[in-house]
């Protein structure tokens, strides 16, 4: 028995913010951004659009792709750190809007690793309970917490959501192995200082710009380049595979240099690596599921393919999954 993906979907906001647009906002330029990140544009929510809007639409598309109704869902997990509110969980808002009233619902906060964490949790629920269908969403409205005076961060991120519906399968198709990890010693390398119980919202905290994302780019880059290959190596070893067995590698879309470095260390040709960050930027928890859904739409996934997905994020967290694709 395996947990397998029955359907996928994604949603990107209509508004596109290009590098040229950012030149008018902050001291930067297109060449500088492309050289350091590989990003050319990203999608941004309108001021009155919340994270749940993207999560709901991605979920609807995944359900349609799986040929299931919302009433068929037993559980909804939303990976996000930029939900509509501190509480209730964005997953509950998704549940209500979909009409999935038979489903339990909760959020999972692991930053850019959020979808991988949620996917792994969903697999365990399926295999250890009588649940039949679980909706996993990675959704992030990062633009809402970006400081557009800080060129080291505001050029890197975009908004987006991806979703997958999981079910049980008596076949070789589905999740083969997974690995999750964290190193809380790096918690303040990528964080938002205020808004929680440590520094509640006050006029002073707002004035000090403490409600925006802060990142130590140098340390995150070093962590990411090391983690990508460490996690990938552990996954293939656990699965009894080699890098050459992988048909498609879907890495977290944070920086093209990190992706190319990982591919080089694994001796994996770039035509086996899915990249969309030039068009969407880093969508945090939305990164992996948006890429997975786009890969499916573009015909990059074939029944029986071995797919490896690896991510890293705030926490610091990291993790990955290898699965055998079961859709035509």
Q: Where does 2-170 sit in CATH, by number?
A: 3.40.47.10
Q: Is 2-170's fold the same as 176-324's?
A: yes
The average pLDDT across 309-320 equals 98
Indicate if 211 belongs to the active site: no
Of the candidates 112, 133, 154, 255, the residue annotated as catalytic is: 112
Segment 244-267 mean pLDDT: 97
Answer whether residue 301 shows pLDDT above 90.
Answer: yes
pLDDT tens column, 101-149? 999 999 999 999 999 999 999 999 999 999 999 999 999 999 999 999 9
Catalytic residue among 19, 65, 255, 282: 282
pLDDT surpasses 90 at 32: yes
CATH number 3.40.47.10 is the correct assignment for the domain at 176-324: yes
- Residue 258 banded pLDDT, cuts 50, 70, 90: very high
Write a three-state SS string for the chain.
Answer: CEEEEEEEEEECCCCEEEHHHHHCCCCCCHHHHHHHHCCCEEECCCCCCCHHHHHHHHHHHHHHHHCCCHHHCCEEEEECCCCCCCCCCHHHHHHHHHCCCCCEEEEECCHHHHHHHHHHHHHHHHHHCCCCEEEEEEEEEHHHHCCCCCHHHHCCECEEEEEEEEEEECCCCEEEEEEEEECHHHHHHEECCCCCCCCCCCHHHHHCCCCCCEECHHHHHHHHHHHHHHHHHHHHHHHCCCHHHCCEEEECCCCHHHHHHHHHHCCCCHHHECCCHHHHCECHHHHHHHHHHHHHHCCCCCCCCEEEEEEEECCCEEEEEEEECCCC
This prediction has a pTM of 0.97
Identify the active-site residue in 51, 154, 252, 276. Answer: 252
154 is catalytic: no
pLDDT of residue 328 exceeding 90: no
Instruction: Evaluate if residue 170 carries a pLDDT over 90.
Output: no
Domain boundaries, the chain: 2-170, 176-324
Find the mean pLDDT for residues 181-207.
Answer: 96
Active site residue 92: no
């Amino acid at each position: 028995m395996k947990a397998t993906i029955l359907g996928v979907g994604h949603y990107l906001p209509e508004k596109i913010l290009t590098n040229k647009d950012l030149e008018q906002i902050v001291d930067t330029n297109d060449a500088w951004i492309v050289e350091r990140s590989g990003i050319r544009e990203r999608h941004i929510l309108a001021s009155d659009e919340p994270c749940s809007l993207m999560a709901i639409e991605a979920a609807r598309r995944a359900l349609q792709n799986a040929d299931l109704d919302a009433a068929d869902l037993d559980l909804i997990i939303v990976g996000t750190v930029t939900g509509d509110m501190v509480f209730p969980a964005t997953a509950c808002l998704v549940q209500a809007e979909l009409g999935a009233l038979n489903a339990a619902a909760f959020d999972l906060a692991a930053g850019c690793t959020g979808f991988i964490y949620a996917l792994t949790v969903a697999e365990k629920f399926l295999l250890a309970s009588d649940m039949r269908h679980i909706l996993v969403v990675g959704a992030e409205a990062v633009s809402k917490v970006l400081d557009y005076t800080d060129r080291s961060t505001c050029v890197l991120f975009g908004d987006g959501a991806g979703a997958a519906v999981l079910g049980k399968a008596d076949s070789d198709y589905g999740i083969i192995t997974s690995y999750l990890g964290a190193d809380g010693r790096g918690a303040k390398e990528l964080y938002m200082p205020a808004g929680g119980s440590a520094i509640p919202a006050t006029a002073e905290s707002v004035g000090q710009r403490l409600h925006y994302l802060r990142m130590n780019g140098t340390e995150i880059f070093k962590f990411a380049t090391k983690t990508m290959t460490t996690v990938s190596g552990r996954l293939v070893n656990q699965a009894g595979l080699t890098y050459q067995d992988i048909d498609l590698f879907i890495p977290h879309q944070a920086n093209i240099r990190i992706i190319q470095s990982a591919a080089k260390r694994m001796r994996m040709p770039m035509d086996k690596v899915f990249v969309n960050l030039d068009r969407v930027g880093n969508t945090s928890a939305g990164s992996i599921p948006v890429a997975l859904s786009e890969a499916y739409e573009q015909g990059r996934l074939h029944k029986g393919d071995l797919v490896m997905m690896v991510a890293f994020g705030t926490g610091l967290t990291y993790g990955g999954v290898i699965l055998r694709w079961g859709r035509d």
